A and B are shown apart, each in its own frame.
Chain A
């Protein structure tokens, strides 16, 4: 049973560019959440997708957007990259978000903005 997968593993971008990160949830899960983790900090919630709609959003600017596809996979897009966007981006999946099920995390994408 494949767990949560993310691609790419690492990415280097230049300030002002745009980036797309991808996530496939664990089998049987239909909810995908995205988190940003800066070095030495805990993950910060970006947003959550369920039934192809953004259901909840954290304190992140509109430069951060996402999408969920019919097969439950998801993309995170970040426009106009800033140096401060350098972080580990984590995708987590779970069953129906209305109940406190545990979220399973992927290995993350390390984004470096230069």
Chain B
């Protein structure tokens, strides 16, 4: 069965302190890996799609990378507004997304 594991569960950063979030996955025939950001009580907001090992995507202070077994979300010089839960999901077949439990990030001034 497909599995997605995210670590750490929670991360507390000082403003400007860069860090990385990990998403390891076990899936038969990865078709896409997705990163989402979720604020409390709201729906996930799409960030990136990665399709193959070696691929990288960037958006402002966020950079996502993909290997054959895991993905990393790097947060460079974070700001308090980057505080959120970051979710990783994989798609192996027809449309279903398998999510990890997420990493809760808190950035303090």
Distance in Å: Cβ of B101 to nearest Cβ of chain A: 5
Residues on A with beta carbons closer than 8 Å to the beta carbon of B95: 31, 33, 48, 50, 55-56, 94, 97-98, 103
Residues on A with beta carbons closer than 8 Å to the beta carbon of B89: 42-43
Which of A40, A50, A94, A103 counts the most B-chain CB atoms under 10 A from its CB? A103
* A-B CB pair tally, cutoff 8 Å: 73
A61 part of interface (Cβ distance < 8 Å): no
Whether A56 lies near B93 (C-beta < 8 A) is yes
B98 part of interface (Cβ distance < 8 Å): yes
Whether A58 lies near B96 (C-beta < 8 A) is yes
Residues on B with beta carbons closer than 8 Å to the beta carbon of A104: 46
Distance in Å: Cβ of A52 to nearest Cβ of chain B: 15
B87 part of interface (Cβ distance < 8 Å): yes
Distance in Å: Cβ of A37 to nearest Cβ of chain B: 9
User: Chain A: which residue is nearest B31 at the CB level?
Assistant: A100
B44 part of interface (Cβ distance < 8 Å): yes
Interface string of B81-105 (1 = CB under 8 A from A): 0000001010101111111111000
Q: How far is the CA of A76 from the CA of B4 in the complex (A)?
A: 26
Interface string of A15-58 (1 = CB under 8 A from B): 00000000000000001010100001111110010100001101
Contacting A100 at CB < 8 Å: which of B44, B51, B87, B100? B51
List, sorted by A's number, 28 A–B pairs whose CB atoms are closer than 8 Å: A31-B95, A33-B97, A40-B101, A42-B89, A42-B101, A44-B99, A48-B94, A50-B95, A56-B93, A56-B96, A90-B44, A94-B95, A97-B95, A100-B31, A100-B32, A100-B49, A100-B51, A102-B46, A102-B49, A103-B34, A103-B46, A103-B97, A104-B46, A105-B36, A105-B44, A105-B45, A105-B46, A108-B42
Additional A-B contacts beyond A45-B98, A107-B43 (14; CB < 8 A): A42-B102, A43-B89, A45-B97, A56-B93, A58-B96, A97-B94, A98-B95, A100-B31, A100-B32, A100-B49, A102-B46, A102-B49, A105-B36, A106-B43
